[in-house]
């Protein structure tokens, strides 16, 4: 068990106070608002509920130290991989390849993160799994839509295991003059998730023009721009909990918000191609876990490598 630093405690308390106030205001607004306004506050309330889950689970994991954080995100990878594979799984011939994803690739990837073997964990899935999974599928002898089936499985592993594993990997970065890597993790998740919430608010307040209606029925041009820029400003104000100066924090915040936004569109396109709205029904009846962390999946490896190559 580890002890949180004073800075980390202040950050957690600050987030908790903000969430308490926002949750009270949101529920009060729902009770007095019109039906049109109520839809906005319901969306905000659902997002706040997911923030509470993130805050509580992260806090518990951090008290368990690096190992607890690894277990937490390995479990999240397991749940999101299950959501992904439930959607794409269609043939018995894929069973062995999918089993290898759950019982070989996932635990090995997180073991490598725990051991801080960057040279291996960074290539296990993009290189070795890329070669291994089609071999397993080929041995099954099922050639029907072979290429498409394996591409889906490889995509699922990349998003739900490889990308998510970069979140706890932040805990093992060695940064000169900066030892509280928990705050880096909070910064990355907080800014990206705040961007999602702020986009929702700006979408309702400002614009009606859809940015890509074929992919998302609610994302608008002004809402997306307003949310990303607002989250960028938030990142700049949070520079004190990072090794960055205000300009660097803003630039990095802008980068991960844009990548997160584009990642959410990519995963939305995958869902639409299968004719479904959500990946699952886990959190508050408002979609699956992957619906709530889709932007983080894409932002995490970008943030990790920016910090590692320029500050590590």
Domain ranges of the chain: 67-172
Predicted pLDDT of residue 35: 54
Predicted pLDDT of residue 277: 78
As a whole number, the mean pLDDT across the chain is 83
With a cut of 70, list the residues of the chain below it in pLDDT.
Answer: 1-12, 19, 22-23, 25-48, 50-51, 57-58, 60-62, 64, 207, 216-217, 281-286
Predicted pLDDT of residue 199: 83
Q: Which of 84, 72, 77 is nearest to 103 (CA)?
A: 77
The Cα 135–Cα 184 span in angstroms is: 38
Predicted pLDDT of residue 210: 76
pTM of the model: 0.86
Quick one: how many helices (H) and strands (E) in the chain? 13, 0
Residue 255, judged by CB atoms within 10 A of its CB (0-12, 13-18, 19+), counts as middle
Cβ neighbours of residue 252 closer than 8 Å, sequence gap 6 or more:
235, 244, 303, 306
The Cα 258–Cα 251 span in angstroms is: 11
Predicted pLDDT of residue 194: 85
Predicted pLDDT of residue 104: 96
Contact call for residues 296 and 192 (beta carbons, < 8 A): yes
Predicted pLDDT of residue 51: 67
């Amino acid at each position: 068990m580890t002890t949180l630093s004073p800075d980390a405690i202040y950050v957690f308390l600050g987030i908790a106070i903000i969430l308490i106030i926002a949750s009270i205001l949101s529920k009060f607004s729902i009770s007095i608002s019109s039906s049109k306004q109520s839809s906005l506050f319901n969306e905000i309330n659902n997002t706040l509920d997911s923030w509470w889950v993130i805050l509580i689970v992260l806090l518990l994991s951090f008290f368990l130290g690096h190992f607890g954080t690894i277990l937490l995100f390995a479990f999240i990878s397991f749940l999101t991989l299950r959501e992904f594979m439930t959607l794409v799984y269609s043939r018995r011939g894929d069973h062995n390849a999918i089993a290898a994803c759950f019982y070989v690739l996932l635990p090995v990837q997180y073991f490598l993160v725990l051991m801080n073997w960057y040279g291996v964990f960074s290539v296990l899935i993009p290189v070795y799994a890329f070669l291994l999974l089609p071999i397993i599928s080929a041995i099954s002898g099922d050639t029907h839509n072979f290429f498409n089936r394996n591409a889906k499985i490889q995509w699922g592993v990349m998003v739900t295991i490889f990308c998510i594993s970069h979140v706890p990997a932040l805990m093992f970065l060695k940064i000169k003059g900066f030892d509280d890597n928990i705050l880096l993790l909070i910064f990355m998740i907080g800014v990206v998730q705040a961007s999602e919430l702020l986009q929702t608010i700006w979408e309702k307040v400002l614009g009606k023009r859809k940015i890509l209606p074929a992919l998302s029925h609610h994302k608008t041009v002004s809402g997306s721009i307003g949310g990303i820029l607002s989250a960028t400003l938030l990142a700049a104000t949070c520079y004190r909990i990072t090794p960055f100066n205000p300009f660097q924090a803003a630039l990095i915040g802008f980068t991960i918000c844009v990548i997160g936004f584009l990642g959410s569109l990519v995963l939305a396109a995958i869902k639409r191609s299968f004719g479904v709205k959500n990946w699952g029904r886990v959190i508050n009846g408002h979609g699956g876990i992957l619906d709530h962390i889709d932007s983080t999946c894409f932002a995490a490896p970008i943030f990790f490598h920016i910090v590692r190559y320029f500050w590590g």
